[in-house]
Structure 1
């Protein structure tokens, strides 16, 4: 745990471009994505608008690459048609219940990459999935950025509750 604290201290003292690069790299990583990168950037005191943009773009880029890769793999798998599995049936049921749009907005709960994989595996077009993932990432990034921006500012007025003071 000490290495993580040292990393955070070094990040706080780093150049601005290194700080933004770190937010971008965190937003690319599946299961961290923009919903982890944006709060980290705002907690560190980086400008909120830039953090939201960088986090959303990094997350969007990684999900778009993933969609194109998984779409290519799906074409190969469809040719080798395998029998149904519990995991595949569960994914199909989730897709039938919520659709591409619902899965895209469930990104912070499930993970954007998993949502995209379920949508592509269920037969949705990659362009349709890409559009909805972009909308979901954008909406959640802005909402999270606004909420976290004002949440951190609220802590300035309540110094006893601020773990960073």
Structure 2
């Protein structure tokens, strides 16, 4: 959620210090208790501490003159940014929820063929491997993929199964 902040600061010629929080540290719970809303990211600018990445962006936009020339432009920029957030929500639903489209079937079929021909091909791609597993685990699809009708079908007619 902070990449846009990093981009803005870099483009404006600013330096910043970033404290990366490890999963282990976060899971201990003490840091989470100290954070407003119990979540990260957290942004400090002098004695000002903010939570919520869009609050960071708006603060920095005002600081560096990137919030329009007047309140009207600022309102329009808020509207556009809210549209970006709507798009981000759609993206999150696509990635993290039980979303399925024809493109998913096409990609999973291709990757599963690669796994037959080169079983270790996803070793360096854990997110892709998890995606293929997640889609392949859909109950009706899993039943089909485990069936003889699927298992015994050759790949590209070359005898590989």
Instruction: Compute the TM-score of the two structures, normalised by the length of structure 2.
Output: 0.31
Give the structure with the higher percent helix. Answer: 1
Report 1 or 2 for greater relative contact order, CA contacts < 8 Å, sequence distance ≥ 6.
1
Instruction: Compute the TM-score of the two structures, normalised by the length of structure 1.
Output: 0.30
